[in-house]
């Protein structure tokens, strides 16, 4: 019995600690990424389009987050020409739950024959992104 007396407290210590970790933890649902949409109507271009030299193209975006505590942190426009690497065109630091922006590009002769893909991205505080792309084919 004396021997058991020594062991019981030790076993109890180990058991108590392990018990804390025996329960399953439920995994939380995924957080929703911010939403980004193209403005439509009026003079806005909201889908892939074929354009000509001299055209003025306006692409409008609207973005919003789903939770107040995860505001938008960055707005970025990148461009890829003829399938090449993405290059930054515009960056803006944000601190808001919603954002809208009109991006205007005037097609010039240097762009003749190009296929230009514009990618619009908003990123929230948790690093989640909302993204939309649109391709202009210059004839």
Instruction: Kindly tell me which of 7 and 109 has the beta carbon lying closer to another protein.
Output: 7
In the block, residue with structure tokens 């084919």: 137
Binding range to another protein, per CB under 8 A, among 34-42, 46-54, 105-113, 117-125: 117-125
Q: How far is CA 68 from CA 36, 107, 126, in A?
A: 16, 38, 12
Residue of 76, 80, 98, 115 interacting with another protein (CB under 8 A): 76
Measured distance CA(75)–CA(99) in Å, rounded: 9
Residue 22 binds another protein, judged by CB under 8 A:
no
Residue 21 binds another protein, judged by CB under 8 A:
yes
Binding range to another protein, per CB under 8 A, among 34-42, 51-59, 107-115, 123-131: 123-131
96-108 burial by CB neighbour count: b if 16+ within 10 A, else e? Answer: ebebebebebebe
Provide the Cα torsion 39, 44, 49, 54; round to 10°: -150
Q: Are 138 and 54 in contact (CB under 8 A)?
A: no
Residue 132 binds another protein, judged by CB under 8 A:
no
Residue of 64, 129, 132, 135 interacting with another protein (CB under 8 A): 129
User: Closest Cα partner for 58 from 124, 120, 112?
Assistant: 120
Residue 13 binds another protein, judged by CB under 8 A:
yes
Chain positions contacting another protein, by CB under 8 A: 3, 5-6, 9-10, 13-14, 16-18, 20-21, 25-31, 67-71, 73-76, 78, 88, 91-92, 95, 121, 123, 125-127, 129, 131
């Amino acid at each position: 019995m004396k021997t058991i007396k020594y062991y019981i407290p030790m076993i109890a210590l180990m058991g108590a600690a392990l018990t804390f970790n025996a329960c399953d933890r439920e995994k939380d649902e995924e957080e929703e990424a911010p939403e980004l949409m193209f403005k439509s109507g009026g003079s806005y271009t909201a889908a892939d389009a074929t354009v000509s030299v001299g055209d003025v193209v306006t692409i409008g975006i609207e973005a919003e987050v789903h939770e107040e505590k995860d505001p938008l942190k960055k707005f970025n426009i990148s461009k890829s020409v003829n399938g090449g690497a993405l290059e930054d065109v515009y960056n803006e630091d944000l601190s808001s739950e919603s954002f809208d922006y009109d991006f205007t590009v005037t097609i010039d002769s240097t762009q003749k024959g190009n296929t230009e893909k514009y990618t619009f991205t908003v990123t929230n505080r948790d690093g989640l992104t909302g993204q939309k792309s649109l391709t202009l084919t210059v004839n």
